[in-house]
Each structure stands twice: as C-alpha cells, then as structure tokens.
Amino acid sequence: MDEDVSALSASPDSTNAMTEQPINVYIWDMDETLILLKSLLNGSYARAFDGLKEHYECLEIGKRWENIILELCDEHFFFDEIMNYNEPYLNALSEYDDGRDLTSYDFEANSFTSPYDDTSKKKQAYMHCAIGQKYTKGLEKILDQHMLKVSNDLYSFIDKYTDGWLSSAHKPT
C-alpha cells in the first residue's frame, strides 16, 4: 500500500517553523503473510475458492514455503539453538554483548545450553548480533545461488497461485 504522508521538519535556520515534504510510506502487514502461509499449509486457501484452486497444490506450496523458512532459520539464524529462549527482539540481550568482532567467532563451538545464566545470555547475545548483521545484508548475501533461485521460483509460483497476492505488496496504490 502506498500513501502520501506529510513529513514536518523544523529548520533551525529558518524563521518559518515547519516545512512540508511529502514522503511515500509503504505498509505491508506481516500478519497477512503469515495467514496466507497458514492457509496454504492447511488447505483453507484452496477451499475458499470452491474448487477453482487445486487443494493438493495448495498444500504442496505451503509445505515448500515452510521448509524453505525452516531451512533458512536453521542454517543461518541459529533456530535450533535459540528456539527455547524466546526474546522479544534482537537487541533484548544487548547488555550481554561486549561488542566482540564476530567475524571469526566459532558458533559451532558455542555450546549454548541450559541453564540460562549470564554465560548463556552472552552467547545468545552474540547469536542475536550475528542474526542482525546477516539480516541487514539481505538474503542475496547469505544464500547461495541455488537457494536464491529456489526461493525466487517459489515466490513466483506462490504469487501466481494466489493471483498476485505477494506482488501486490510491491505495487503502490
């Protein structure tokens, strides 16, 4: 969705207190994306079209999407290690992050286990920091060419099956 919003900015050098500068604000609701995923996984998306969409194809698409998400989370975002330690956001443990350069940090040897003490929180803070760094780089920088192609092909397939639902997020109204 696209909406023009007036951004008011104060200019310290100006006698005019405020000036209006229109900016575009794009809003896409992640909840809707998760609802779409769930409706593909359980087949309710196909059922809503009363026979016009293949039920088996719907389930297959949902499962492929889920598998890619889980593989991405397992391989790049330490899902198995941190799934039982729910923090509300990546910076939740920033007080335990000492700013160490994580370029050569061996996460495999991290031995992140219970109890959830200060040592474990520090290790998790390192993982969260690494996740944030990877996230800002984008998928193009962390996935190999094969996985990028698989992801892009699945995106196109889902978008076609859902009559442009995903691509509608990229189109200004």
Catalytic residues: 29, 31
Identify whether the C-beta of residue 137 lies closer than 8 Å to the C-beta of residue 160.
Answer: no
Q: What is the DSSP secondary structure assignment for residue 28, as one 8-state letter?
A: -
Residues β-bridged to residue 18: 10
Q: Which two tokens stand for residue 87?
A: 């923090």
Nearest Cα to Cα of residue 161 among 61, 22, 74: 61
Cα dihedral 147→150→151→155 (10° resolution): 170
